[in-house]
Amino acid sequence: QVQLVESGGGSVQAGGSLRLSCEASGYTYSSYFMGWFRQGPGKEREGVACIDRDGRINYADSMKGRFTIYEDNAKNTLYLQMNSLKPEDTAMYYCAADTRFICDVWWFLRTNEYNYWGQGTQVTVSS
pLDDT score at 28: 74
Q: Mean pLDDT across the chain, nearest whole number?
A: 94
pLDDT at residue 71 greater than cutoff 80? yes
Q: Are 23 and 34 in contact (CB under 8 A)?
A: no
Average pLDDT over residues 120-127: 97
pLDDT at residue 29 greater than cutoff 90? no
pLDDT at residue 77 greater than cutoff 80? yes
Can you give the chain as a three-state secondary structure string?
A: CCEEEEECCEEEECCCCEEEEEEEECCCHHHCEEEEEEECCCCCCEEEEEECCCCCEEECHHHCCCEEEEEEHHHCEEEEEECCCCHHHCEEEEEEEECCCCCCCCHHHHCCCCCEECCCEEEEEEC
Q: Are 38 and 124 in contact (CB under 8 A)?
A: no
pLDDT score at 31: 73
Q: How confident is the model at residue 14 (pLDDT cuts 50, 70, 90)?
A: very high
pLDDT tens digits along 92-116? 999 999 988 999 988 988 888 999 9
pLDDT at residue 27 greater than cutoff 90? no
pLDDT score at 26: 85
